[in-house]
Structure formats: C-alpha cells, structure tokens
A and B are shown apart, each in its own frame.
Chain A
Amino acid sequence: MANLQHIRRRIKSVKNIQKITNAMDMIARSRFNAAREALLSNLPYVAKTKEIMRRVMTQMRGQEYEHPFVKTRAELIAEQEQGAGKFLFIVIASDKGLAGSFSSNVFKEAHDTIEYDGTGESSSLDDDGDDENFHKKNFDALKGIKPATRRTPKQQRQMSATGGMARAASHQGGGGTSSGSVEVAREYHDADYIDGIELITVGRRATTHFKQRGYNIIKSYHGISERPDYKYAKEIADLIIDRFDSGEIIDVTLIYTQFKSAISCSPDNVTLLPIVTDDYAKVGANLKEEYIYEPDVVKILNDFLPRRIATRIYGAMLHSAASELSSRMNAMSNATDNAQELVGRLNLFYNKVRQAGITNEINEIVGGANALE
C-alpha cells in the first residue's frame, strides 16, 4: 500500500515545481511584451526596405549594372562552373530551453533546408511564392554542376555524426511512441552534407546542436537571443559579405522563427545572398520607369544592400526573440496547468489512501473487540 508520507512529499514537490514554472511564465510574459514591442516597431522599416528593394531589383533586371551581390540565375551557374564555394547557413534559435518545441522546430527547418537535394517531396516549386526564399531554386540550378557539395553517404562518418542521437533515442527506451525516434533517425543522417557547409549560429542551443553533429560553425553568438542588438546583426552581415566577396561562399540562407501571433510562430528560411533578380520578375513586372540614382547606382547599392542584409538579420532576430518568449510562455503556462491537475489527482489519491487506512483501523478495532467478547 502506498505510504501516506510518500504521497505528501510528492504533492509538495509538484507544488514547488508549479511555483517555479509559474514564475518562469511571468518572467517570459514580461520579456515577451518588450520583445513584441521591439518587433512591432521594427516591422514598418523592414517592410519599406523590402518594398524599395523589390522596385530596385525589378528595375535592375535586364540592365547592364554590375554589382557582385546581384545576379541572374544564369550568371550564378556560369560563375560556379569552376568555383568551389560553400553554402552558408545562419541559424537563429534560443539560448535556453524550456520553450516547448521552439528550438527543435528551428533545427528541423534547418536540416530540411540543408539536406535539400532537389529530390524528395519538397521541391523548389513548393516555395510559397516569396521572392526572397530561393535557396532551393539556387540549389536546383547549381546541383548539375556542383556534385561535390553533396557527397554520397559514407557509412562510417554517418555513424559518428548520428551516434549522439542514436544514444538519445535508445535512452528513451523505445517506450514512447516511436514516431519521435523515427523522425530523429531520418533527420540526422547529415554527415554527407557537412563538407560543403558553413554555419553561423545564434543561441547556445543551436551551437550545441550543430557542434555535436560535426558541422563547421564559423561563428556563434550567445546571450543575445532574447534581446537582440543591431550591432550583432551588423557584425554577421559584415562577415558574410566579406566571405561572399572573397568567393568562399556562394549562397547565404537565414533560418529563423517567424513570429505571427502569441500562439503561432513557424520556422522560415530566406536567402540573403546572392540576390537573384529572376525571382523579382513576377512582382511589379510592368515597372518601366527608371530610377535616378544619386550619385550613382554602384555607390547607392554598395551602401543600400549591406544595410538591407543587416536589417534582414536584425528583423529575423527580433522575430525569433518574440517567438522564443511566446513559446516559453505557452510551455510554462501549460506546465503550471498540468502541475495543478497533478496536484488535484494526487490529493484525491492521498485522501483515498488515508480513508482506506482509517477504515482498516476501524475494522481492526471492531475485530479486536469482537474477539474479546
């Protein structure tokens, strides 16, 4: 029979956990308000930058302006025929856990994007018509001439890269529903992709996740996931522009969580570099009038494009911060509710056990009295 003291102790510990989750919920809530505020004030600026970008790019299509960031897809292919540049991914996740599936959703999107090889159910045509989301199209264009970036799997290396996850999966003891482990097994067969890839990570969790799997992380940022600073976005932008200029990387894709509302956010990826003018074709194709650039187009683009990239990264960081905090808020308030329910159930159980004990004692007394008669 269950021990009364045991149950009492359990109730107490559940209540203590509830106090902690409740406190974390409130902390996340107040930080979330600040993060949402920051995001909302940034949105108009980003939207306007995007608008201008669209108009300029639509207009630049078919013109003879030369700018290293701006290419047509044909140029991209021609240039890479002998080049050996790598793909670079920027992954923005959180520093801390306890935010539900926030980080793992980002990682899933990251792996999906990184592992994209032009086959499988997702194809470049699935992309939601967003003219800034063309990593897959770029890759499709390049895959014919760059087989080296995606090697055939090597059994041994695959083992070492998935070793960590295999252990984690077996640790679950196969007890839980197997769908989770199957997912894991599918996702992390990524050793064959690592060679052609560089990563920049924001958030401690992203760093640990990808380091464990042997990815080449060229820079990581910790401690800024909840409160992004433009300074770091600028730093990342400068770094990728530098590497892109030197030809070390040929494609930069940013993976982050887009904040939609306090209860909904979803991972998203956008291509930062190169800016492929083909994709700006559909929007405002009838724009005939030319811009006057003062002093000249090269100077303006030299200043505008890096700023556009930094703005983009900063915006993504703000989105990610708001998403992280809202996920944590939801996770913690769920945990608090669950703890409440658990306490209720344990109380009921406690009372039952206590009642059973009393009944038992009465029975014994009655039995003893009867025996005496």
Chain B
Amino acid sequence: MATILLEVATPDKGEVFSKEINMLITRSICGELGILPKHARLLTELLPHAMRIKADGGETQLFVSGGFMEVTPDKITILADAAENPDDIDVERAKAAYNRAEERLAKKDSEIDIDRAEAALARAKARLLVKGVHMG
C-alpha cells in the first residue's frame, strides 16, 4: 500500500509526529479533507480538531489546535500551535478553559479580545470532543 510521510511540528515541542502513513483525514477551514499519497500540492489552514491517521491497517488520532498544513505528493507537513495524543488531553484543564472562555465571551467587555476568546473556546471544545465530553 502506498504511503505518504506525515510530519507534525509545534513551536515548543519540536517534531511530535513523523511517520509514513496511508491516509490522513483532517479538517481545514474549508471543510473535511482526506489526504492520500500523491496528493496535489496544497496549502491550507487547519481548525482545532482531532486528525485521523490511518497507518498499518489501524487508525489513530492526533489532536491539533489549529495551524497550517502543506501537502506535497510525498509529504504532509503540519505546523500546529499544539498537538497532543488523545490520551494526553487533560479533561479538567480543557473544561476549565472552556468555562473561562465562555465567561469572557458572555461579559462582552470591549477590553476582551473576542477573537482570542472564541479561538480558546473552539480549542477547548475540540479537546473535549475527542474525549467524548459534551458541554452545554
């Protein structure tokens, strides 16, 4: 089966993933994308979500909190702000972040950076979704 190299790097943890895979299913700002080997060159921005990685007949998940993805025929490079294995996600922390972001948005204070709060909310939501926790 044909493979494509997937590399995920973050600013503070370096290269967190580097492996030949069969298929990557990911969510960009334009919607879901499935990337197979020999894909056309592509540059896009990712949303916070759990990517699905198919390799060696199995499927694993990797959470990315937004970033950029470059695809060339033999390599996928993902520059993520943060990337975690689902097992490493701290549910309590994500819940706290979720509540904090909601509080901020609810206040509608002009001093609060709405974009940042919304991004934080989206990240927390995506993390919780991976763990199967649904917030109101």
Report which A residues bind B (CB closer than 8 A).
Answer: 38, 40-45, 48-49, 51-52, 55-56, 230, 289-295, 299-300, 303-304, 307, 311, 314
| Docked CA distance A48–B15 (Å) | 10
User: Which chain B positions have C-beta within 8 A of A292?
Assistant: 40-43
Chain A residues near B28 (CB-CB < 8 A): 294
Count of chain B residues near A, Cβ 8 A:
22
User: Cβ of A41 and Cβ of B13 under 8 Å apart?
Assistant: yes
**What are the residues of chain A within 8 A of B12 when measuring CB–CB?**
38, 41-42, 230
**B135 at the A/B interface (Cβ < 8 Å)?**
no
Bound complex: CA A297 to CA B81 (Å): 21
A49 to B80, CA, bound (A): 11
Q: Which DSSP category, helix, strand, loop or mixed, fits chain B's interface?
A: strand
Residue in A closest to B15 when the chains form the complex, CB atoms = A44
Task: List, in ascending order, chain B residues with CB within 8 A of A299's CB.
Answer: 45
In the complex, what's the smallest C-beta–C-beta distance from B39 to chain A, in angstroms? 9
Q: Are B45 and A41 in contact (CB under 8 A)?
A: no
Q: Does B79 contact A (CB under 8 A)?
A: yes
Binding site for A on B (CB under 8 A): 7, 9-15, 28-30, 40-45, 68, 70, 72, 77, 79
Specify which of A41, A56, A299, A314 lies most central, judged by the most chain B CB atoms within 10 Å of its CB. A41
Task: State the CA gap A51–B13 with chains docked (Å).
Answer: 18
Nearest chain B residue, comparing its CB with the CB of A49:
B79
Complex CA gap A230/B81 in Å reads 11
A sample of 6 more A-B contacts (CB under 8 A), given A293-B43, A304-B45, is A42-B11, A42-B14, A45-B10, A56-B43, A299-B45, A303-B68
| Closest residue of B by beta carbon distance from A292 | B42
Residue of A nearest to B67 (CB): A307
Selected from A38, A56, A289, A293, the residue in CB contact (under 8 A) with B44 is A293
